Chains A and B, each alone.
Chain A
């Protein structure tokens, strides 16, 4: 079966409009979670990671759009354009599939004022994705994946599987979600937002921080002349336990890690590092530590990127995988921002300082509402 190479990537977030700008900030220890006082999102100020509006508009207008696009669509398009600009992949080819990951898409169009400005159909995820596909003149119907917080990781696993099967030569996998009153109020109702920037795996963690952004990974069965990173395998497994709380035994995530490793022939002890979901809610991080410990991976370095970008929902799995790709390329381990004192019951090795390590592979994991869990293996050839 064909190898699936990562040939391009991009991150659009509070920390910049390209992978390099984001990673540059992260390596300097800069995080993007700030106090948000936008009353249209929440009557009370809350910590969040927001994309700079003016810069987004400028970046988007530079692409000479011929019509109006929503903020969600603009984020996707800017990120996909940036990722594609570094590749020779033809987005207009029938052999190139668009895969879009999102939880809520154009959710702000529920607002009557905003609704007026756009075709009301755009509230549908497939319609928003079709606009994005049409912008790039892609002839295929985009595949839209909406699986809560694992959407991004699952989109990459899905696209890689389709390429491996020989269905497509290339896939442009992009994920995005915007901050909205809808999502902020929902997480507030669950009492899952921290009053401070989130602190993954820390003893004093008390909830997540929300974020917005977009990410893109371009996959191809042709390595081109530079890519050495492959999406080697993956799995998705359900806890079959609870719709809004993770399994106490970490069953689904344990299974996803097990299957993903098995599909690539890598032993748990051979994993270079783990990019965790690490939302900084008490239950999530504890559950992840249990799943990791059940594989005896106590000594494998683990990080969470949520302290830099917050939880960007449909974008999270993509941008965190892009960060992992950069770690692999540059043989560096990125520290977990917000982590200082160990706060999960298993003695897993949470990365707290920027360090160098010769890396050949990485395990990316994610878990979400509905009891879903995903695991993905990146390998360096």
Chain B
């Protein structure tokens, strides 16, 4: 019987970052998103200038994965094509959609930018994480009103059952003008699951 365990988790909300439920980083409540994510990037000693070209959603997903994996190279432990990234969110890419739309709404005088347009797909953040960490495995991006861990757990369990993944990042990364939230977890196989990959564990980590 294969046991799945949640080996790492990260939660970013309200200018606070919790790594494995411990406070990792914090900034004043009135800090804006670019300042907060830039400070977090420096705090995590990230060196990846492309980060600053990403839209806000991709930046949020990217930095969450960065802090979660914290220099750990999963590709040394697993075949790269067996490491998946499965994420959900509610707002898809509404923030960058609005920004892009504003550049084209004057139909007589518009200059669409490919650098903006490419980020109008929510799975781009998964692509950014895969490029950074050299993950060649399963991707999926689900859009749901609110985080539905039940569905994601079923889906990720299915990927392990069908031997399509041996390790998988899952979670929720949402950005809109109303606010933002990231919750990522790493699921791996283990002889003994310290934190079993089930709804109770995920809800507890997400809270």
**A residues near B, CB below 8 A?**
39-40, 43, 103-105, 107, 110-111, 123-127, 129-130, 141, 143-148, 154, 158, 161-162, 164-165, 167, 181-182, 185-186, 188-190, 235-244, 251-252, 255, 259, 263, 368-372
Interface residue stretch chosen among B19-27, B31-39, B95-103, B183-191: B95-103
Is B127 in contact with A145, judged by CB distance below 8 angstroms? Answer: no
Is B136 in contact with A185, judged by CB distance below 8 angstroms? Answer: no
Interface string of B168-193 (1 = CB under 8 A from A): 00000000000000000000000000
CA A178 to CA B81, docked complex, whole Å? 33
User: Considering residues A126, A129, A143, which has the most beta carbons from chain B within 10 angstroms of its beta carbon?
Assistant: A126
B69 within 8 A of A: no
B148 within 8 A of A: yes
The residue on B at minimum CB distance from A127 is B145
Q: For window 109-140 of chain B, which residues contact chain A by CB distance below 8 Å?
A: 110, 112-114, 117-118, 120-124, 126-128, 130-131, 133-140
Is A189 in contact with B112, judged by CB distance below 8 angstroms? Answer: yes
Is A371 in contact with B127, judged by CB distance below 8 angstroms? Answer: yes
CA A123 to CA B91, docked complex, whole Å? 9
Is A124 in contact with B91, judged by CB distance below 8 angstroms? Answer: yes
For the A-B complex with A238-B127, A255-B81 known, give 13 more contacts whose Cβ atoms are closer than 8 Å.
A43-B107, A110-B101, A146-B92, A154-B140, A161-B155, A164-B162, A165-B157, A165-B161, A181-B107, A189-B112, A238-B85, A238-B126, A238-B137
Q: List 27 contacting pairs A-B, 8 Å CB cutoff, sorted by A.
A: A40-B107, A43-B108, A110-B97, A124-B94, A126-B90, A143-B142, A143-B151, A144-B143, A165-B161, A182-B97, A182-B104, A185-B104, A235-B138, A237-B81, A237-B137, A238-B127, A238-B130, A240-B134, A243-B127, A243-B131, A259-B164, A368-B123, A370-B124, A370-B126, A370-B127, A371-B127, A372-B127
Is A161 in contact with B141, judged by CB distance below 8 angstroms? Answer: no
Distance in angstroms from A249 CB to nearest chain B CB is 12
Interface string of B32-53 (1 = CB under 8 A from A): 0000000000000000000000
The residue on A at minimum CB distance from B117 is A186
Is A145 in contact with B141, judged by CB distance below 8 angstroms? Answer: yes
Distance in angstroms from A378 CB to nearest chain B CB is 17
| B124 partner residues in chain A, CB cutoff 8 A | 148, 243, 369-370
| B164 partner residues in chain A, CB cutoff 8 A | 235, 259, 263
Interface of A is mostly: mixed
**B residues near A, CB below 8 A?**
80-81, 85, 90-92, 94, 97-98, 100-101, 104-105, 107-108, 110, 112-114, 117-118, 120-124, 126-128, 130-131, 133-145, 148, 151, 154-155, 157-159, 161-162, 164
CA A188 to CA B111, docked complex, whole Å? 10
Choice from A105, A111, A154, A186 contacting B112 with Cβ under 8 Å: A186
Distance in angstroms from A260 CB to nearest chain B CB is 10
CA A91 to CA B117, docked complex, whole Å? 36
Our count of residue pairs bridging A and B at CB distance below 8 angstroms stands at 166
Is B139 in contact with A238, judged by CB distance below 8 angstroms? Answer: yes
CA A182 to CA B97, docked complex, whole Å? 9
Choice from B130, B139, B151 contacting A147 with Cβ under 8 Å: B139
User: Considering residues A39, A127, A143, which has the most beta carbons from chain B within 10 angstroms of its beta carbon?
Assistant: A143
CA A371 to CA B131, docked complex, whole Å? 9
CA A126 to CA B145, docked complex, whole Å? 6
Choice from B85, B90, B118 contacting A124 with Cβ under 8 Å: B90
Is B141 in contact with A147, judged by CB distance below 8 angstroms? Answer: yes
Choice from A125, A162, A370 contacting B139 with Cβ under 8 Å: A370
